[in-house]
Amino acid sequence: MPDRSWYKEWFSSPYYHLLYSKRDQQEASRFISALTTHLHAAPGSRMFDVACGKGRYSKALSDMGFDVTGIDLSESSVLEAKPLENEHLHFYQHDMRLPFWINYFDFAFNFFTSFGYFRTRREHDSAIRTIAQSLNPSGAFVIDYLNVHYAEDNLVRSEHKKINGTIFHISRWHDETHFFKQIQIEDNGAQVKHLFTEKVSKFTLGDFTEMFAYHGLQVEEVFGDYQLGPFDIRKSPRLIIIARKRAR
């Protein structure tokens, strides 16, 4: 599938991994632990981590006693994840828009807004189809996405971050359909040639419900934060959806 989209270069860039290396790991671990407990995931359950990056959350799931498979579009990220592999943890370079294993996984996850990057709704539908087909007949899918309304109301339009001598100048804006984040980079006092611009679709709960239903997924629960608090359309920072595969 020919693809010159922004994310293909940016997700493979060392600057991407440097910028997002300071994410709250403890919060993420607590979220994943609370989520798997809430899902009553049995030891040994087959987990599918879609857009797994360098595999840190796949490894966390594996350490909890689950059988985990992670996929990511970035070949460099998967190569870095490979040393983590063991009998119950495996990684593959794969485009989520293309079919993967069928009727295999008990649970599928897409963490931390690792969706919404494609150019067309059809491509996003293809990704949801891949995930739905990968689940066994009673499997569940969890997507963790930004809450569009909260993000609009709380958008930080400009900020600067200095990490290990590299300065990131970040600008944010949005239009009717997307959020944008432009990242200009200074590395050791010199401006980097590339200027990266992230673009994420404004998918709401209604949008996901529609996409899921088309591919046989029924929304069961919705949460608004990493503590699995109730979803409030204006006050919740996250949109976390649990959907179950319907029998056909």
3-state secondary structure the chain: CCCCCHHHHHCCCHHHHHHCCCCCHHHHHHHHHHHHHHCCCCCCCEEEEECCCCCHHHHHHHHCCCEEEEEECCHHHHHHHHHHCECCEEEEECCCCCCCCCCCEEEEEECCCCCCCCCCHHHHHHHHHHHHHHEEEEEEEEEEEECHHHHHHCCCCEEEEEECCEEEEEEEEECCCEEEEEEEEEECCEEEEEEEEEEEECCCHHHHHHHHHHCCEEEEEEECCCCCCECCCCCCCEEEEEEEECCC
Sign of CA dihedral 152, 112, 23, 19: negative
Structure tokens at 160: 């600067």
pLDDT score of 4: 53
Q: Output the CA–CA distances (angstroms, integers) from residue 226 to 136, 147, 179, in the order listed.
A: 26, 12, 21
pLDDT score of 23: 63
pTM of the model: 0.91
pLDDT score of 29: 84
pLDDT score of 1: 35
Dihedral over alpha carbons 47, 5, 1, 202 (to 10 degrees):
50
Q: Which residue has the tokens 């790991």?
A: 25
Structure tokens at 203: 């998918």
Closest by CA to 201, choosing from 211, 193, 190, is 211
What are the backbone dihedrals phi and psi of residue 172, each rounded to the nearest 5 degrees, phi first? -130, 145
Q: How far apart are CA 170 and CA 159, in angstroms?
A: 5
The domain limits of the chain are 6-148+203-245, 151-199
- Whether residue 114 contacts residue 124, with contact meaning beta carbons closer than 8 Å, is answered with no
pLDDT score of 192: 67
Fold of 6-148+203-245: Rossmann fold (3.40.50)
Give per-10-residue mean pLDDT for the chain (248 aa).
Answer: 63 80 74 96 97 92 96 93 97 97 97 93 97 97 98 96 89 97 84 79 98 97 97 97 88
